C-alpha cells in the first residue's frame, strides 16, 4: 500500500524525499555525494539545536509569565527573550536555506541567504546590546555593518530580479513560433 513495490511514488513526504535523495546520491560523483552528506548532517544538527533553543525559550517565557516578571519596564528581560527569539529565527533561516539547497540540487547555499542570516545576526546583537555599556565606536561599527549588509542584500536581490526577468524573456523567445512573420497582427 505504500507504493514501494508497484512503481508508484510513496505517499508520505518523508519517504518521497528519502527516495529523491537516494536517486540524487546515486547520480553524484564522490565529492557531490560528500557535500550532500555534509548538508544532511548539518540539517539534522540545526534541527536539534533549533528544537533545544525553542524548548529553552518556551521554558523561559513560561517562567517569566508564571512569576509575573514580564513587564514593559524590565528591558533586560525583553532583550533576553527577543534575543533568544532571533536565535531561533536565525537557526530556522539557516536550516531553510540548506533544505532549499537539498531540494533543488543547488551546489551551494545562496549568497543572498547568507547575507540575510548575517543581517539577522547583527540585528539580534542590536536587540541584546546594553546601551549603557556600549561605546559609541561599537555602535557606529554595528550600524555600518547593518547598512553594508542591507545594501549588499538589496543589490543581490536586484540582480536576482534582473536575471529572472532575462530568463523569462529568453524562455518566451524560445517558445514563440519561429515560422510566423513578425509583421502580422491578429
114, containing H or E segment: helix 111-128
Q: Does residue 138 fall inside a structural domain?
A: no
Q: Does residue 88 fall inside a structural domain?
A: yes
Q: Does residue 69 fall inside a structural domain?
A: yes
pLDDT of residue 180 exceeding 60, the answer is: no
Provide the pLDDT confidence category of residue 105 given band limits of 50, 70 and 90: low
Mean pLDDT (whole number) for 78-87: 88
pLDDT of residue 123 exceeding 90, the answer is: no
Tell me what pLDDT residue 94 has.
Answer: 84
Q: Identify the residue with better confidence: 151 or 75.
A: 151
Q: Does residue 184 fall inside a structural domain?
A: no
**Domain coverage including residue 96:** 26-128
Domain count, the chain: 1
Q: Does residue 31 fall inside a structural domain?
A: yes
Write out the three cell numbers for 12: 508520505
Q: By the 8 A CB rule, do 88 and 54 touch?
A: yes
Give this prediction's pTM. 0.64
Q: Does residue 180 fall inside a structural domain?
A: no
Q: Look at 87-91, 101-105, 117-121 and tell me which has the smallest mean pLDDT.
A: 101-105
Instruction: Please report how many Cα atoms fall inside a 13 Å half-sphere around the Cα of residue 44, on the Cβ side.
Output: 5
Q: Does residue 151 fall inside a structural domain?
A: no
3-state helix, strand, coil in the chain (%, to 5): 75, 0, 25
Tell me what pLDDT residue 181 has.
Answer: 55
Eight-class DSSP state of 105: T
pLDDT of residue 21 exceeding 80, the answer is: no
Q: Does residue 12 fall inside a structural domain?
A: no
pLDDT of residue 104 exceeding 80, the answer is: no
Amino acid at each position: 500500500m505504500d507504493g514501494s513495490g508497484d512503481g508508484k511514488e510513496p505517499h508520505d513526504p518523508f519517504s518521497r524525499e528519502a527516495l529523491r535523495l537516494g536517486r540524487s546520491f546515486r547520480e553524484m560523483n564522490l565529492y557531490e555525494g560528500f557535500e550532500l552528506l555534509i548538508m544532511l548532517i548539518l540539517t539534522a544538527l540545526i534541527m536539534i539545536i533549533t528544537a533545544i533553543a525553542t524548548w529553552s525559550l518556551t521554558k523561559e517565557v513560561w517562567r517569566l509569565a508564571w512569576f509575573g516578571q514580564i513587564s514593559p519596564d524590565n528591558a533586560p528581560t525583553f532583550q533576553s527573550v527577543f534575543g533568544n527569539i532571533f536565535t531561533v529565527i536565525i537557526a530556522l533561516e539557516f536550516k531553510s536555506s540548506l533544505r532549499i539547497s537539498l531540494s533543488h540540487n543547488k551546489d551551494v547555499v545562496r549568497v543572498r541567504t547568507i547575507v540575510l542570516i548575517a543581517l539577522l545576526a547583527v540585528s539580534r546583537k542590536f536587540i541584546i546590546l546594553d546601551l549603557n555599556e556600549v561605546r559609541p565606536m561599537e555602535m557606529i561599527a554595528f550600524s555600518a555593518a547593518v547598512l553594508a549588509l542591507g545594501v549588499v542584500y538589496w543589490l543581490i536581490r536586484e540582480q536576482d530580479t534582473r536575471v529572472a526577468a532575462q530568463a523569462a524573456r529568453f524562455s518566451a523567445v524560445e517558445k514563440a513560433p519561429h515560422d510566423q512573420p513578425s509583421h502580422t497582427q491578429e
